[in-house]
Amino acid sequence: MNMDRKEQDAATKREIALDLPGIDLSGEKGTQFWRDQHLSTRFECVALLFPANYINTMHRLPSPMADASLFGTLCEDRGFQVFHFRNPTISDWLRWLDYFSQNTYQQLIVFFDGHGIIKDGLEPSILCFPKTKAQSYHSSLVTPENLLNGKTIVQHLDWFQQDTCRVTLVVDCCHAGAIFNSTVVGEPLPKHRHFLLASAQDQAAHYSVLHQDTPLTPLQNQDQFFGAFSFFLVHILKRESAINLQLLLQRLQPLLQPHKQTAVIISSAIHELFFPRSCASVLPQLQPHFDPAILHPASIVPVRIV
């Protein structure tokens, strides 16, 4: 859907005010959580949300917070403990990815909603927020220091992969199939590893005005935007809680077809359920397996220029 700058600014401002489910890891809240929790807690089931609407930049999007709210609420209903970080930088991404990869032992779902970038001379990557505020509204964020490629994300998951922990990466952005292609994720996949991707390699991921009560019909008189992939994914999972990944893909494709998107699933076991079972949120007072050294800046692998 095409929007002029004024319309998109208004939609993004409405969206940034949305309350997201779970614990906010941004800013002081994340710092306090780190102080209170990381020495005494391991988690059974975690949903880690990274919505990026690029507020006050030329790259702003009107739907990621709403998508994260829908998906996070669904995960909460399934017993997951939900954490979110709005507009993460690369270091934010990798810091919390490392932490929850080490300290979650049953199921970890990582959800990203934002921009996917394909640019000459750079690996396909997700666009992260800069460490410092953009110089002006018209300053592009698409520079190597703000791009996080799929290979780096997979490497960080591989470092802490446990045979008992099921890891699912859900990515709603343009070119998700290029960012996490079969070469990047590796074949064969480690046990219990799944990638749900909103778009094939050369496709854009679209958002539209969609109404939660009638999810199959875009309604232009509503003012809340949702990403088509995230919206229909949640819609299907609410209706069919015991659905496996293969059937989920079959359900998604006809819903995405009008938006000219093709969902992609790369999985170590396509017949596994998306939600194998309900979870208890947290089990406190268990000794974590966590090495604070992973937070050293040296652990952050920048995008490689081809």
User: For 174-208, how does the pLDDT look when each residue is reduced to its tens digit (9 = 90+)?
Assistant: 999 999 998 888 878 888 899 999 999 889 998 87
Beta-bridged to residue 148, according to DSSP, are 126
Residue 2 has pLDDT above 70, yes or no: no
For the chain, the domains span 5-299
User: For 236-294, how does the pLDDT look when each residue is reduced to its tens digit (9 = 90+)?
Assistant: 999 988 899 999 999 999 999 988 999 999 999 999 999 876 665 443 333 333 333 33
Instruction: Tell me the average pLDDT of the chain.
Output: 80
Average pLDDT over residues 215-228: 58
Long-range contacts of 183-191 (CB under 8 A, 24+ apart): 184/149, 184/150, 184/151, 184/154, 185/150, 185/154, 185/266, 186/154, 186/158, 188/268, 189/266, 189/267, 189/268, 190/158, 190/161, 190/268, 191/163, 191/268
Predicted confidence at residue 3, as pLDDT, reads: 53
CA distance 160 to 155: 9
Predicted confidence at residue 182, as pLDDT, reads: 85
CA distance 299 to 10: 38
Query: Locate tokens 């220091």: which residue?
Result: 145
Average pLDDT over residues 2-30: 69
User: For 97-114, how does the pLDDT look when each residue is reduced to its tens digit (9 = 90+)?
Assistant: 998 988 898 999 999 999
Residue 72 φ then ψ, to 5°: -65, -40
Query: Locate tokens 């959800």: which residue?
Result: 111
Average pLDDT over residues 115-140: 82
Residue 74 has pLDDT above 80, yes or no: yes
Half-sphere exposure for 210 (CA within 13 Å, toward CB): 24
Listed range (146-155, 211-220, 255-264) with the worst mean pLDDT = 211-220
Beta strands 41-51; 81-84: pairing state = parallel
Cα 273–chain centre separation: 19
Query: Locate tokens 């921009």: which residue?
Result: 115
Peptide bond into 51 cis (omega under 30): no
- What fold does the segment set 5-299 form as a domain? Rossmann fold (3.40.50)
Residue 151 has pLDDT above 50, yes or no: yes
Whether the Cβ atoms of residue 115 and residue 61 lie closer than 8 Å to each other: yes
Write the burial class of residue 69 (CB in 10 Å: 0-12 exposed, 13-18 middle, 19+ buried): buried
CA distance 277 to 272: 11
Predicted confidence at residue 14, as pLDDT, reads: 61
Beta strands 125-127; 116-117: pairing state = antiparallel
CA distance 129 to 133: 9
Place 172 in a pLDDT band, splitting at 50, 70 and 90. Answer: very high
Judge if pTM exceeds 0.85.
no
Predicted confidence at residue 68, as pLDDT, reads: 95
Place 140 in a pLDDT band, splitting at 50, 70 and 90. Answer: confident
